Amino acid sequence: MQWTLFLMTLVGAVFSTVYAKGPEQCPGYEAINVNEQDGSLEVDLRLLGDSCDLFSSDLPNLKLLVEHQTENRLHVLIFDPDEAVYQVPESVLPRPSTMEHRDRKIQFTYERSPFSFKVKRGEEVLFDTSGNKLIFETQYLNLRTWIPENPNIYGLGEHSDSLRLPRVNYTRTLWNRDAYGIPPKSNLYGSHPVYVDHRGSVGTHGVFFLNSNGMDIKIDESDDGRQYIEYNTQGGVIDLYFLAGPTPKEVGKQYAEVVGFPAMQSYWAFGLHNCRYGYRDVFEVAEVVYNYSQARIPLETMWTDIDYMDARKTFTLDPKRFPPSRMRELVKYLQAHDQHYILMVDPAISYSDNHAYNQGSNDSIFLTDVSGAFYKGAVWPGVTVWPDWFNSKTQGYWNELFYQFFNPEGGVDIDGLWIDMNEASNFCPDPCEDAYSYAEEADLPPAPPPVRSPPRPLPGFPADFQPQGSNTSTRSLIRRRDSGKGCKTGIAGRDLLNPQYQIANAAGSLSNKTIRTDIVHAGKGYAEYDVHNIYGTMMSSASRKAMLHRRPGLRPLVITRSTFAGAGAHVGHWLGDNLSEWEMYRISIAQMLAFASIFQIPMVGSDVCGYGGNTTEELCARWATLGAFYPFYRNHNALGSIPQEFYRWPTVAAAARKSIDTRYRLLDYLYTAFWRQTQTGEPFLQPLFYVYPHDANTFDNQLQFFYGDALLISPVHDKGQTSVTAYFPDDIFYDFYTHKPLRGHSANITLADIHLTDIPVHIRGGYVIPLRIEGKGSTGPAQTTAELRRRNFELLVAPGLDGSATGELYLDDGESIVPNTTSLVTFQYKNGTLHIGGKFGYKAGVLVESITLLGQSQGRRSNADRQSVKPTQLELTGPAEIEL
């Protein structure tokens, strides 16, 4: 008995000693063997004393590499000498080139023992690990930096928290997951470990942590009241890029240089999109298209969710509800009316006798478990398998599936692509011991009642397209979506399922409701444990290539749910399965701003009017006006919710018509600003502090935003409100609709009498805005972007406080990746004269029909054809001088 008690006491003492350890008790490292050259620094790091082994095994020896890559970018990499520890593959995120610069705006200093470092911009310390010992273990990294008191930190997504992150007791977990309802304080669909630290008049800088492992990033304060940011990851290396700024916009540009400039989108992609999960057949889809037309609401692109699939199997068509011949007729009808069509593709392939599975099985491109058998889970079609994007055969497999299924002759000729469930989502919990039992949840229950009885005719469609008899009895889902040395692939012997350090994953264990994390990929042998967060982005990249394979030379619109750093170079993003709630309406602004201005994924928007739950006429009307200022503008909702197409309510229809007309008049302004971001990384959709970085009143503002540099958008905030208290910085603004000037004095102003069809828009002084106008003989607002491109321009000149204004207009064919000709027209107004210059090449075939000068007593207007300038100059094919 005494020996038993002694052993229990001994085990308890050992247990308490191990788990009482904290990072402060670990030894840290010392710097030895310093090799400093012009522009770079190499140092060996050696563990000081005995191993700590806090959550796994300490690495006794490390290397430090510091590179001054540009005058504004510093790269700090801490890694293992053998380079066996996993690093994000360059095939997924190519590393930026290094350019030598003598004039360095950012400096690196370090302490030898225990090792710590600082990054400085002049005398300003941007990153400071002093007093905090580095921990580098096989499955745990810890790095802490001190930050100023009361900091302004933004980024670290994806999340639905405030734009300006909380300053204490805040943890941002990065582990991609299917997150129905996009709950706050939770990890969501994407991982973007980059933050912007804005210090007002002192300047702004950014820090990008290139690591795709699961992690908790904490913002808190120490016992002595000092605030810090702390990285706690489950593996990988410390790979940091410091971006010197010193303005928020410059940080955005510098980050784009690291992760890649965003992909340019086609002109039509900025039109209105409509979708619903639950369209019962191709005839209902066609009827929605017709109803939008009858309501005179411009519909650019019609989408279809998984409803079109045969038993929810990817790359199939339901032969009764969405037969191939009818689908091709629908597409031809849309194309004949200058409209577009998009379908959804999920990564999970049905484990059954179907072409996509059979071909993938023959090519052995699916993920396999430790036994070598295909790893199986459960998604919409039942038991499924997943493509391995690291397999060298997978891209060819994916290309061929796209080429066959989306073939104009024998398939569905889509214009863009929608990717869902690519976190990857799995209905089967961890451990997924019997996928078949959980596949029953995704089985196809009996269909709801028919949509039409008897079916209604579809005016405008051919007679043989009309529905015959009652709606086909089918089955439809009702379940919601919530339900080696130097190889850099990872050290062997790790616990890939249950590491000792557990991140705060809202789904529970790492493998819960996703692909099992001990799966090893083909090729170099990356573990899913390390590459989970890049699975969705790899699918996105492969899908973009497949779209290009079938339509070479044309910009593919690909919208994805799961993202990682650099995804914007390939795709756009919708903000996931939100809810029809006012809070979701409000937080969509902060989410959108984070993706567009910080994460460099500017083709972004939320499901307008909400995805889950039932919207209301008031909410949907307000959301229609707000959504008109999302870069990606789509109305989408869920099966089981009431239909919410814009024509369902008179007020919503009126709000949509008015806001879309405003959006379309401004579409070339948007297109130009978006193009500029793809060339330089300069964000066009911005929080107020990006435009007024020295105005402290803007730092917390997440309910207003700038649409380009020139337009301030101030949405109504809540239910029942017909006014909004909006902040106007110290500047001159003009009401977009009335042209009435408003002098801002760094104060709030109440904007009253805002009808449900309205959204306050103000022009910031100092800009020339090109607007599309109604051409001669037109019947009203353009109904498609193709029609819009034939409309002439009006130039809106809004002088700033100094009386001058500038602007630009980018023109191309609207769809080619490399257009044959382009124009970049510049406008400069000063001292009563408007100068039109720039580079001219693309012949748009339209005129500058009128010019409006704001700020005049009568709002003076001049017709360009009455000016003493040559007609060729007014066609935007050469320079011009116009007296105003």
Which position among 67, 239, 284, 577 bears the catalytic label?
577
CA-wise closest residue to 193 among 247, 253, 258: 258
Which position among 80, 161, 257, 423 bears the catalytic label?
423
CA 387, chain centre distance (Å): 23
Place of tokens 């005016």: 459
The CA distance from 442 to 437, in Å, is 10
Token output for 666: 């401004």
CA distances from 559 to 187, 217, 242, 552, 571 (A): 20, 27, 29, 18, 6
Which position among 58, 257, 305, 420 bears the catalytic label?
420
DSSP letter string, 811-876: E--SSBSS-S--EEEEEEEETTEEEEEEE--------EEEEEETTSTT--EEEGGGSSS-HHHHTT
The CA distance from 559 to 576, in Å, is 11
Q: Where are the beta strands (DSSP E) in 52-191?
A: 61-70, 73-79, 107-111, 116-121, 124-128, 135-136, 141-147, 153-157, 170-174
Would you put residue 290 in left (φ > 0), alpha (ψ -120 to 50) or beta?
Answer: alpha
Check: CB of residue 143 under 8 Å from CB of residue 127: no
Check: CB of residue 744 under 8 Å from CB of residue 731: yes
334: exposed, middle or buried (C-beta count within 10 Å: 0-12, 13-18, 19+)?
Answer: buried
Residue type, 221: E
Cis peptide before 583 (omega within 30 of 0): no
The CA distance from 66 to 178, in Å, is 37
Token output for 231: 């990285």
338 is catalytic: no
Token output for 733: 């603004």
Check: CB of residue 824 under 8 Å from CB of residue 844: no
Token output for 781: 């607002």
DSSP state of 423: T
The CA distance from 23 to 467, in Å, is 69
H-helix segments, 36-140: none
CA-wise closest residue to 301 among 1, 29, 605: 605
Phi, psi (degrees; rounded to nearest 5) at 303: -115, 155
**Hey, what's the torsion of the CAs at 688, 694, 696, 700, to 10 degrees?**
30
423 is catalytic: yes
Non-local (6+) Cβ contacts of 773 within 8 A are: 665, 791, 792, 793, 794, 849, 850
The CA distance from 846 to 775, in Å, is 10
123 is catalytic: no
238: helix, strand or coil: strand
Active site residues: 420, 423, 577
